[in-house]
Amino acid sequence: MSRPVSSSDEHVQRAITQAWPGALDAETFDALFRECGADVHAYVVSLLGDRTAAEDVMALAFERLYRSRARLDQRRGTPRAWLFAIARNAALDELRRRRRQPRYELEDELTADRDCGEGLEHVERRATVRDALAALPLREREVVLLKFHGQLSNSELARALGISESNAGTRLHRALARLHEGCLQAERQEEIA
Amino acid sequence: MKVIPFPGGSSAPPDDAWLAELEAALNGDGEGVVADSWRELRRDVRALAQPMDPEFERQLRARIAEHGARSAHKQSHRRSGWLRPPSRLGAAAGIAAVGAVIVAVVIVSHWRVAMGPIEALPHQPAVSPNAGRAESFDHLGASAPRGAIRAAKGAAAESGASASAGVASNAPASSGVTTPPGRVQQLAASITLAATPNDVQETADRVSRLAVSDGGFVQSSHVNVGQGTGEANLDLSLPSAKLGVALVSLGQLAPVRAESQSLQDITNTYDAARQRLADVTAERQALLHALARASTEGQIDSLRERLSQNRGAIARAKSAFQTVSQHASTAEVEVTVLGDAHAGSEGLTLHRGFHDAVRVLVVTLVILLIAAAILVPLTLLIVALAIAARALRRYRCERVLDAR
């Protein structure tokens, strides 16, 4: 999902993925959007299950990041991690405000997969993962989405969740274990069917 | 369907190796079936999300570019740090600090008005509620002034209490003395000023004028000016209520070499004189009643004789009472002006400058201390409230995840 950064400026690329260069300048901010925009959108839409709400949250997240650019702190990780932490908070605010049950809009993707000529097994596996993910409690689903969409390290994940690193590891392990069990269960049901 | 391996079992708590293995697999560093499966799972999860709407992406990028252009414009017009308007937090902190300093200044000003000038503080008499007790406070190591010694003798004679000095009065607020309720006290003070020999006469004249302007008078004055030397001794009688102000004014005439204040409790003497006056007045009334009822010549003559004696007793009692009242309402101040060839330069530059500098520092320190006493608890309270609010907001936010 990530898109390559077209800018040849290594300083910008390094700023996004490694450490703060200080306050975000316009060029870095634009590159950050190109680098992380799609992932943030995927994370938020997966968490909220609503494309319109996800777009609002995403715009809000970038707005908040822009406003807080002067308070950027190297100790808080990379801009990517900072952006995902902001997006998470904005998404939770949206969930709390709207009290809307998230739902998954995966039919288009599955159809697209088939259209792309991928094998049936590939499509079935994704459907299994989708069902298992949807069956997860929201708290655990969120960890999986943040880890895979955000591509955050465990320490960055802990900062985004506002918990200790060991606690984040435990929560991630539990979520993946349940996802694993969900996939196994779905597979067994398929075999029975 | 391909089953995703889950190393370490699904129920065991994760160890560092498991987390490191997962991290390496997702970073592309890990190899093997398990690592491939993790990466495949991530691909599957990421593929489930809808892609961003191209129109929305275009609009958002346009907004970001617009922000960037605005930011660059602001950057080019950015003023230097100290000219830049402060942030909301900085402005609030600045306002709080200024407010605390203002409050501190008000408190210090009120305190100075109520307690008298700062320089009088070190020698404020500490008044004891016990009757008949007197205390003296020598300042700058000066020898005990003559007035103080006289007062001590008077105190011993009056009430028998131990006293090293004495002048009394109903405690004036401006003199820094607090009088217990129902007590009558006599105040005295002594001050030694340093002036150049040529200024001794002038200083003595200014002391006299000051005494008159404060509602008092000069009881005695002796000025001796010679070749390169001079000394003046003045005994002033001032209203007790103005003693503190008068001492401050005297201290402004010339550098102060020594200063002392003392008080003597004369409540017993005052009460005895008043009672004596009341007694003889009552006796006169009784004699007049008896005279009105007298029927014989002998009784009338005897009563008139006693009334004559009573008039003398009343006069003496009134005189004694007025004397005591006079002691209570006036303060004796002994002023000594010493002629010193170095007094002028010393007072104006080194000694006075140092003294004034110390006073400024002390007042500044007091103001800062009071400001800190206001700001520190206020800051702690605000920080605690901010932490609590943040925790509450976070809790409410996180609770959404459990509600689903």
Mutation target to probe the A interface, by most A beta carbons within 10 A, among B22, B45, B84 is: B45
d(CA B178, CA B265): 12
Cβ contact B67–A26 (<8 Å): yes
Q: Which residues contact B18 (CB under 8 A, 6 or more apart)?
A: A173, B7, B8
pLDDT of residue B316: 94
Q: Which domains does chain A have, with CATH numbers?
A: 1-103 (1.10.1740.10), 107-193 (1.20.140.160)
Q: Which residue has the higher pLDDT, B298 or B180?
A: B298
Question: Does pLDDT of B144 surpass 60?
Answer: no
- pLDDT tens digits for range B324-359: 888 888 999 999 998 876 655 555 567 778 888 898
Give CA torsion, residues B383, B387, B393, B398, to 10 deg.
160
Q: What pLDDT sits at residue B71?
A: 61
For residue B369, what pLDDT is reported? 92
Nearest to B264 by CA among B173, B318, B327: B327
B396 vs A contacts (CB less than 8 Å): 96
Candidates B13, B64, B398; nearest CB to A29: B64
Is the pLDDT at B141 greater than 50? The verdict is no
**Lowest pLDDT segment from A6-15, B183-192, B387-396:** A6-15
What is the pLDDT at residue B234?
93
B76 touching A, CB under 8 A?
Answer: no
Q: How high is the pLDDT of residue B284? A: 92
- The whole-angstrom distance between B378's CA and the closest CA on chain A is 24
Contact B1 A173 (CB under 8 A): no
Q: Is the pLDDT of residue B223 over 70?
A: yes
User: Which pairs with CB-CB distance under 8 Å and at least 24 residues apart come from B98-107?
Assistant: B100/B370, B100/B371, B100/B372, B100/B374, B100/B375, B100/B378, B101/B367, B101/B368, B101/B371, B103/B370, B103/B371, B103/B374, B104/B366, B104/B367, B104/B368, B104/B369, B104/B370, B104/B371, B104/B374, B105/B367, B107/B370
What pLDDT score does B344 carry?
A: 54
pLDDT in the model for residue B384: 94
Query: Which candidate from A37, A173, A186 shows the least CB-CB separation from B52?
Result: A37
Tens of pLDDT, residues B62-94 = 887 777 666 655 555 554 444 555 667 778 788
Predicted local distance difference test score (pLDDT) of residue A73: 67
Our CA-based measurement puts residue A25 at a distance from the nearest CA of chain B, in whole angstroms, of: 7
Q: Is the pLDDT of residue B390 over 70?
A: yes
DSSP B133: -
Using a CB–CB cutoff of 8 Å, tell me whether A119 touches chain B.
no
pLDDT tops 70 at residue A14: no
From chain A, pick out residues whose CB is under 8 angstroms from the CB of B19: 154, 169, 172-173
Instruction: For residue range A173-193, list pLDDT tens digits in order.
Output: 999 888 888 888 877 777 777
Position B103 confidence tier, pLDDT thresholds 50, 70, 90: confident
Predicted ipTM? 0.79
Residues A137, B404: C-beta atoms closer than 8 Å:
yes
The answer to whether A21 faces chain B, any CB pair under 8 Å, is no
B355 exposed, middle or buried (CB, 10 Å; 0-12, 13-18, 19+)?
middle
The answer for residues whose C-beta is within 8 angstroms of residue B7's C-beta and 6 or more apart is B18, B21, B34
Q: In Å, how far is B402's CA from the nearest CA of chain A?
A: 6
Q: What is the pLDDT of residues B19-51, one digit of tens each?
A: 888 888 888 887 888 888 888 888 888 888 888
Is the per-residue pLDDT at A113 higher than 60?
A: no
Contact A59 B63 (CB under 8 A): yes
What value does the mean pLDDT of chain A take?
76
When mean pLDDT is compared across A180-184, B113-117, B139-143, the lowest value belongs to B139-143
Which H or E run contains B63?
Answer: helix B54-76
Instruction: Tell me the pLDDT of chain B averaged across its residues.
Output: 76
- With contacts defined as CB-CB under 8 Å, which chain B residues touch A84? none
DSSP state of B5: P
Least CB–CB distance from A183: residue in B3, B18, B53: B3
DSSP characters for B224-248? EEETTEEEEEEEEEEEGGGHHHHHH
Rounded average pLDDT over A94-101: 72
pLDDT > 90: percent of chain A: 6
pLDDT class of A66 with cuts at 50, 70, 90: confident
Give the percent of chain B with pLDDT over 90.
24
Give B-chain residues touching A101 at CB under 8 angstroms: 404
> What are the phi and psi torsion angles at B92 (to 5°)?
-65, -45
Distance between CA atoms of B26 and B13, rounded to whole angstroms?
20
pLDDT reported for residue B135: 37
Is A121 touching B (CB cutoff 8 A)?
yes
Specify the higher pLDDT residue, B76 or A5. Answer: B76
Q: Nearest CA of chain A to the CA of B13: how many Å?
A: 7
Q: Which of B196, B83, B184 is nearest to B127 (CA)?
A: B184
Q: Which residue bears the tokens 């889950």?
A: B6
* Contact residues, chain B, for A108 at CB < 8 Å: 50
For residue B278, give Cα distances in angstroms to B52, B282, B283: 106, 6, 9
Record: contact B14-A133, CB cut-off 8 A: no
For B14, the closest of A148, A153, A173 (CB atoms) is A173
Of the listed ranges A149-153, B79-83, B291-295, the one predicted with least confidence: B79-83
Contact (CB<8Å) B48/A104:
yes
Is residue B395 very low, low, confident or very high in pLDDT (cuts 50, 70, 90)? confident
The more confident residue out of B378 and A120 is: B378
Nearest residue of B to residue A92 by CA position?
A: B397
Comparing A142 with A9, the larger pLDDT belongs to A142
Higher per-residue pLDDT: A167 or B125: A167
A190 vs B262 pLDDT, higher one: B262
CA distance A7 to B320: 106
Say what percent of chain B tops pLDDT 70: 71
Inform me whether the pLDDT recorded for A19 exceeds 50. Answer: no
